[in-house]
Structure 1
Amino acid sequence: MKRPWIVIACAAFIVTLAMGVRQSFGLFLPQMSVDIGISRSDFGLAMALQNLLFGLVQPFVGAIADKHGAGRVVLAGALLYALGLIGAALATDAIGLHISFGIFIGMAQSATTFVVVLGAVGRVVSAEKRSGAFGIVTAGGSLGQFLVVPLASMLLGDVGYHQTLWIMAGLVALCGLLAIGVAGRTDTPGTLQAEEQSAREALREASVHRGYWLLNAGFFVCGFHIAFIATHLPAYLDDKGLGIEIGAQVLALVGLFNILGSYVFGRAGDLLRQKYVLSALYTARSAVIALFLFVPLSHASALVFAGAMGFLWLGTVPLTSGIVGRIFGIRYLSMLYGIVFLSHQLGSFFGAWMAGLIFDATGSYNIAWGFSIALGLFAGLVHLPIADAPVKRLQPA
């Protein structure tokens, strides 16, 4: 069995590269929309398709990883990710962008981000330390955002988006090498009581658990928030006269603060009831968005908003996946969490696409901001009644 720190480190670096590149995509909107001749809703649809495909194939990719190991899945995903970025660099119309940026990269992300690698990590750490380990891996995505987004911004200014996408393709290809560290199927002592359960039985067990569906509802909101802000916040700030450069600063600051937030919320999940921490996190998001809209917009207020949202950005991942693992065990964690992640990506689809439609129709993002506040309050409520005790199958006789 691999040493836990090796699996955790490789998983974190895979997520660093895959998520770092992904979080930079909003910066490409101004150049690509002018060069290709597409609208914001066209670009938003590409991002929406990416998020939708990311979610739709995730349960199946997760099931493959549960059966054959994460290494092969990550390798295949890294190659497809690089191909999608190269395709986007060569796209000449909206359809080409939708296929490359949308379909190819969306499918690739399902194999190179949280669900697959967290399944590998969950099998090498004890239940008592699992949420904290998930938080470390999640922080890797934020480190990537902090490092890759400024790099992408610099490259866009120096060499343009075509060459930048080629360089990004080279970065994600490195995930294929790191796949060695998460390869194979390993199981932690104490998880073998789930071995006799089939995948179909695991799905049936989850489908009748009300808390599982409440987790799906809450993660939909998380996806809406993240896709809306990552895709449209740079353009929103540019529209308000702050310039496109601040968009890169804001996204990088989100990544920086989420390094801390992911770790803090991951550790909090080891010490406190995870559902209560999730409820507080979503409610805090609504409060932060409302304050951002209430105070006069400035460079300083945008950076403060980025720091606050960054702290709350991906802390949902270790908590939500931790609850799934706690309730149902980790034998089929990648598959079951993959279904919850599908809900997340459905929210991302609407967050990226609907906000673009709203802007094209009204010339403003105000309605989209209002949806974000209401959905955050909704998510804060739906986590409270979740029955988060392990199912009877996992309880001592």
Structure 2
Amino acid sequence: MVKGLALKLANTASPTTRQNATLIGSMGFNQILAWGSTFYLPAVLAEPISHSLSTSVPAVVGALSWSLLVAGLCAPVVGRIIDKHGGKWVLAFSSLLLALGLIAMSLATGLLVYYIAWTVLGLGMAAGLYDAGFATLGRLMGAKARSSMTGLTLIAGFASTVAWPFLAAMDASYGWQTTCMVLALIHLVVGFPLHLLTVPTPSPRADEPQKVAKKSYAPADPRLVWIALLFTLHAFVMSALAVNLIALLRGHEISAAMAVTFGALMGPSQVVARLLEYAFGRNAHPVWIARIGILACMVGLLALGPGIVLLSLLAVITFGGGNGIMTIARGTVPLTLLGSINLGMHLGLIARPVLIAQAVAPMVCAYILVQLGPNWLIWIMAGILGIGALVAFTKLRTFDSSVV
């Protein structure tokens, strides 16, 4: 009886150091799985899917934009649920939703079922990607969640590195339908039980009702609005560049092979930057981390302008590094400025415009690239990041942190 009680208490309290390492490892694996089977999937499977469904590649890739819109609309609701009940069952349910969406996709013979599948995947993305993970950690650990958020992004930073070769090998050997079925099976057999076994149920806070009443921020609160604007502007440029980077480099007469090689360095650059942040910046205020990140992205983007090969290489590395630490700041800035109470709701409200921006940016910027050319696109995106930097340096500087 005593042993059972001890296990129950361990399962409902904040995780110990050993439990925390297991938790971050488990959540990190599931982040790689979730990102790899959603956001990074069309880059490899769009062409074979388009042939199979007898439709165009843009129509296939457009389903990802649709799923991001679905995820953005659902994110605040998911955040509120995590605030109230913790993230254990939300994350576990995301594994089921992602598996269901992938199974539906594998059975699609036309665009209707294919887009229905991506609608389900959008629901799973809202419940299982970074925002849900950050909210879960904030609910479990409060103000101490910052290092765990960094650890989560460190592991998840390898999503494209793991997913793209796996997807390419599976598609070449078995076809895209079987690839989707295998991914669904991994979600069900590995991802779902990992969430259930390693994510603790948070213990209720005795003083939570009073704190919630005191620290509940309306969406119009300037802190939340300015934070959301900063990360939405960054997300717009990040998403646009992720899709159009190769075309931008090719527009400056950099060879296709070299452009692809440069693009492949974006992921490792993000991971290295997160390691540096963890090693040297863990005690810095998250707003300063966000400022450095947005400036690095802007400098990297502007360095693409001249079209010089070596400068373009440094530009991609710099932009990737800035993007890597901006991902961390997206969880730690709200945690530090607004506190851990209602963190899920705050992250959900921030995620809505961020995901919508990620959905529309590739199409908008592809149109600008075709109509105006690469230099105009670079200047426009740099201007957007400049506005973000202005927000980071002027609108966030006077707010005191609230550690809860």
Given the alignment, which residue of 142, 151, 154 partners 2:157? 142
What is the distance in 1 between the residues matched to 2:380 and 2:47? Answer: 25
Match of 2:178 in 1: 163
Aligned length: 382
Given the alignment, which residue of 219, 224, 230 partners 2:242? 230
Report the alpha carbon displacement of residue 334 of structure 1 after superposing the two structures with TM: 1.4
Match of 1:70 in 2: 87
Distance of aligned partners of 1:317 and 1:267 in 2 relative to their CA distance in 1, 3 Å threshold: farther
Distance of aligned partners of 1:350 and 1:280 in 2 relative to their CA distance in 1, 3 Å threshold: same
Residue 271 of structure 1 aligns to a residue whose secondary structure is coil
1:330 maps onto 2:348 in alignment: no
The one-letter code of the counterpart of 1:77 is S
Given the alignment, which residue of 298, 307, 312 partners 1:286? 298
1:14 maps onto 2:30 in alignment: yes
Residue 330 of structure 1 aligns to a residue whose secondary structure is coil
| More moved, 22-31 vs 331-340 | 22-31
1:308 maps onto 2:318 in alignment: yes
Given the alignment, which residue of 104, 112, 117 partners 2:120? 104
The 8 Å contact of residues 325 and 333 in structure 1, kept in 2 or not, is answered as: yes
Report the alpha carbon displacement of residue 143 of structure 1 after superposing the two structures with TM: 1.8
| More moved, 373-382 vs 362-371 | 362-371
The 8 Å contact of residues 296 and 318 in structure 2, kept in 1 or not, is answered as: no
**Correspondence list, 1:335-350, <5 A:** 335-350=345-360
The 8 Å contact of residues 26 and 234 in structure 1, kept in 2 or not, is answered as: no
Residue 383 of structure 1 aligns to a residue whose secondary structure is helix
Residue 56 of structure 1 aligns to a residue whose secondary structure is helix
1:47-71 deviation digits (Å, cap 9, x = unpaired) = 2111111221111011112222211
The 8 Å contact of residues 70 and 179 in structure 1, kept in 2 or not, is answered as: no
What is the distance in 2 between the residues matched to 1:290 and 1:92? Answer: 43
The 8 Å contact of residues 258 and 312 in structure 1, kept in 2 or not, is answered as: yes
The one-letter code of the counterpart of 1:163 is T
Distance of aligned partners of 1:51 and 1:369 in 2 relative to their CA distance in 1, 3 Å threshold: farther
Gaps of 5+ in 1: none
1:211 maps onto 2:220 in alignment: no
| More moved, 362-371 vs 309-318 | 362-371
| More moved, 270-279 vs 306-315 | 306-315
Match of 1:93 in 2: 110
Q: TM-score, normalised by structure 2?
A: 0.81
Report the alpha carbon displacement of residue 383 of structure 1 after superposing the two structures with TM: 1.0
Match of 1:47 in 2: 64
Report the alpha carbon displacement of residue 213 of structure 1 after superposing the two structures with TM: 0.8
Gaps of 5+ in 2: 1-12
1:319-353 deviation digits (Å, cap 9, x = unpaired) = 23212112222122112111111121121012233
Match of 1:353 in 2: 363
What is the distance in 2 between the residues matched to 1:371 and 1:229? Answer: 12
Residue 210 of structure 2 aligns to a residue whose secondary structure is coil
What is the distance in 1 between the residues matched to 2:323 and 2:127? Answer: 21
What is the distance in 1 between the residues matched to 2:345 and 2:274? Answer: 22
The 8 Å contact of residues 44 and 352 in structure 1, kept in 2 or not, is answered as: no
**Correspondence list, 1:141-290, <5 A:** 141-173=156-188, 174-180=190-196, 181-186=198-203, 194-198=208-212, 202-203=215-216, 205-233=217-245, 247=260, 253-265=265-277, 270-290=282-302
1:57 maps onto 2:74 in alignment: yes
Larger radius of gyration: 2
Given the alignment, which residue of 340, 359, 378 partners 2:387? 378
What is the distance in 2 between the residues matched to 1:153 and 1:33? Answer: 15
Residue 38 of structure 1 aligns to a residue whose secondary structure is coil
Report the alpha carbon displacement of residue 304 of structure 1 after superposing the two structures with TM: 5.3
Distance of aligned partners of 1:251 and 1:64 in 2 relative to their CA distance in 1, 3 Å threshold: farther
The one-letter code of the counterpart of 2:334 is V
1:142-176 deviation digits (Å, cap 9, x = unpaired) = 12222122222333344333232223323333321
The one-letter code of the counterpart of 2:357 is G
The 8 Å contact of residues 58 and 342 in structure 1, kept in 2 or not, is answered as: yes
Distance of aligned partners of 1:194 and 1:52 in 2 relative to their CA distance in 1, 3 Å threshold: same
Residue 52 of structure 1 aligns to a residue whose secondary structure is helix
The 8 Å contact of residues 274 and 324 in structure 2, kept in 1 or not, is answered as: yes
Report the alpha carbon displacement of residue 243 of structure 1 after superposing the two structures with TM: 5.5
Report the alpha carbon displacement of residue 93 of structure 1 after superposing the two structures with TM: 3.3
Identity, in percent, stands at 18
Match of 1:390 in 2: 401
1:292-332 deviation digits (Å, cap 9, x = unpaired) = 342246xx877655543332223223223212112222122
Match of 1:33 in 2: 50
Q: TM-score, normalised by structure 1?
A: 0.83
1:5 maps onto 2:2 in alignment: no
What is the distance in 2 between the residues matched to 1:192 and 1:232? Answer: 50
Distance of aligned partners of 1:262 and 1:343 in 2 relative to their CA distance in 1, 3 Å threshold: farther
Report the alpha carbon displacement of residue 104 of structure 1 after superposing the two structures with TM: 1.4
